Amino acid sequence: MKYKPSKELKDRGICYFLVLAAAALFIMFLLNFNTVWSGFRKLLSLFIPFYVGFVIAYLINPFINLLENKVFKKVKNAGKKRTYSLLVAYLAVLLLLGGMLSYLLPQLLSNITSLVNGIPDYYNAFSAKAIRFIEAHPSVNEFYQQYSLQIGELIKQAVASLSGYLGSLLPALANTTIKIGSGLMNFFIGLIISIYFLAGKEKLIAKCKMIISFFFKTEERIQRVLLVGSITHEKTLHFITAQLLDSLIVAIVTYLFMTIFGFPYALLNALIIGIFNTIPYFGPWIGAVPPGLIILIVKPSYLLWYILYTVILQLLDGNILNPRIQGKQMNLSALWIMFAIFLFGGIFGFLGMVIGVPFFAVIYYFISAALNNGLHRQGKSTNTADYASPEDRPIINDQSK
């Protein structure tokens, strides 16, 4: 009699085979991770113009909306309104970038070159001033004599580190310039692609919703996915634009202050401070260190004024300017902001430190929503302060304001 397996046995055999095949593929993936990852990165690199185009379109889109709703609102034809808005927006962006590069890049290169070449002279002048100061103050002289070797070694290490850091800036800048030159084609293609993204953004959004509708079937699941996308877009766009605006203001104020009062290398220092200011919470304090070292070596008498300016600037920025620009969109405490910076910064580097906060804010938002929904179904309070002791509740309520 010929053996005929049952349908249940066939299904079980297929299931076992698929599990074993998946396990084998996973083991092969782990054993050849570097090769697979390298191939995956090469595949992703083919679409760099599309990434560039999407980022450009994402950042310019609010400007397009503003032009359509305010400047060209009387234009009845939707196609003409979009065309006029695109022309004005891209012309303004190109003029702004071109003007900034033509003005800033030559000065920046001049600042870095001058600083690197002048390090030996600055160090000798600084050493001479330090010796005269020590000789004029007996108590300081006594302390210096006791710890002269340690102090001298620390100064040498600091100068060597600063010299190495500054020396690497010029080659790094030159290398970056070469990379930018070799990648200009990707940028211009991305610029063109961004126009297509913006010109047909409504259709693209509708297509994405169509795909979501196909995969997630029920209306409830579709709305959940759309809500995740909406919250992510809202928090990410608000955070990035607000942080860039805040950093730009800080950089401009620093440049004007240093230029007016004769600080050395005002443009270079302002640029460093502005870039680090894009990192939330403690980025501004990290960014204040390199300019402080430059000022200490070049013009030590300005260091105290620089420290005073930095403290006042960060107090005003952290307590007045940044909260007004950011509002309460992130809804994260300082502890969670630091956690997000360390987590995403460790994974993605500097970019992760910048964009990690809005991404974590989205995760935090939905975890909090799920927790609150669960508590609400159980008939329990969703107010955090209600779970604290009576004496601690005023503190929590005050921190939540």
Q: pLDDT (tens digit, 9 = 90+) per residue, 78-114?
A: 888 888 999 999 998 888 877 777 777 677 767 767 7
Query: pTM, whole model, 2 decimals?
Result: 0.62
Low-confidence ranges of the chain (pLDDT < 70): 1-11, 13, 16, 33, 37, 105, 109, 112, 115-119, 122-123, 125-127, 130-131, 133-184, 323, 326-331, 334, 348-351, 392, 396-401
What pLDDT score does 256 carry?
92
Distance CA 4, CA 304 (A): 90
Distance CA 384, CA 38 (A): 46
Query: Domain coordinates of the chain in residue numbers?
Result: 47-103+134-199
**N- to C-terminal Cα distance for the chain?**
81
Contacts of 51 (CB under 8 A, 6+ apart): 190
Contacts of 37 (CB under 8 A, 6+ apart): none
The label of the residue with tokens 């889109």 reads: 61
What pLDDT score does 6 carry?
63
What pLDDT score does 257 carry?
92
Angle, alpha carbons 121-122-128 (nearest 5°): 90
Other Cβ atoms closer than 10 A to 322: 23
Task: Tell me which amino acid residue 215 is.
Answer: F
What pLDDT score does 238 carry?
78
Distance CA 153, CA 63 (A): 54
Distance CA 356, CA 283 (A): 13
Helix axes 184-199, 78-136, angle to 10 degrees: 130
Distance CA 92, CA 86 (A): 10
The label of the residue with tokens 């460790």 reads: 346
The label of the residue with tokens 């309520």 reads: 397
What pLDDT score does 291 carry?
86
Distance CA 186, CA 51 (A): 10
Distance CA 27, CA 200 (A): 43
C-beta contacts of 155-158 below 8 A and 24+ residues apart: 155/127, 158/293
Contact 261, 396 (CB under 8 A): no
What pLDDT score does 308 carry?
93
Distance CA 119, CA 397 (A): 53
What pLDDT score does 11 carry?
64
User: Tens digit of pLDDT for each residue in 342-374?
Assistant: 787 777 666 677 777 778 888 888 888 788 888
Distance CA 16, CA 13 (A): 5
What pLDDT score does 87 carry?
92
Burial class (CB in 10 A: 0-12, 13-18, 19+), 383: middle
| Tokens read off for 280 | 């939330």
